[in-house]
Amino acid sequence: MKLTPDQFFGKYDQKGIDFDGYYGFQCMDLYRQFVKEVLDLPQSPSVVGAVSVWTTYLSEYFTRIDNTTKAIPVKGDIMIWSTGVGQYGHIAICKDAQQLEFTSFDQNWPVGSLCHFQKHNYKNVLGWLRVKPPTPAEPEPKPIPTPPVVEPKPPILPETPIDPCQAQDLLIAKVRTLVNSRWTWIGKKNSWKLRLSDLKKLL
């Protein structure tokens, strides 16, 4: 579980941190413990002195801010000093800051001291590292609606026109069928005649 900067300060105030198990309580040990427990980020490469963190920091996680009269660090920024304060420089964690001075959480300043709050001016401070805000997650793409399945309809075929000759043959065939199947005996003349109702069906 990650700690807040204030929880980290309370946990290690007046205590020594030896992160790598070498050379006792150094300022780099404090820096690396802060990166692990508060920032939960990968460690920057090994260095001979704290000043080298200014150039070996992990740019994908931190923004480097130069020390200028207009820039003011905030709680949790990682302060880095040049070799103007000693051969290896210095590194600490900002607690609060104003334009002319700031208070940081230090170890081995002065030499041999445990973790504590220390006031500083900005002399020999190269600048500080500030954690980049997390990249917002991209929204999931909206699903593309599936168009409804439309069953194909059979094509409407035009009626085949009837050839006039075929139409005449068809009519003759109907008349013959009607004459052969529907006839009647009319009067004494013994003549065969088509019923009137049958003739109307031919019209």
CA atoms within 13 A on the CB side of 31: 27
pLDDT, one tens digit per residue, over 135-190 is: 887 788 888 888 787 777 777 766 656 566 676 666 666 666 665 655 444 444 44
3-state secondary structure string, 72-109?
A: CCCCCCEEEECHHHCCCCEEEEEEEECCCEEEEEECCC
Q: What is the pLDDT of residue 143?
A: 83
Domains and CATH numbers, the chain: 5-131 (3.90.1720.10), 164-202 (no CATH)
Q: Is the pTM of this model over 0.85?
A: no
Q: What is the pLDDT of residue 152?
A: 74
Q: What is the pLDDT of residue 138?
A: 75
pLDDT, one tens digit per residue, over 46-99 is: 999 999 999 999 999 999 999 999 999 999 999 999 999 999 999 999 999 999
Q: What is the pLDDT of residue 202?
A: 52
pLDDT at 13 over 90: yes
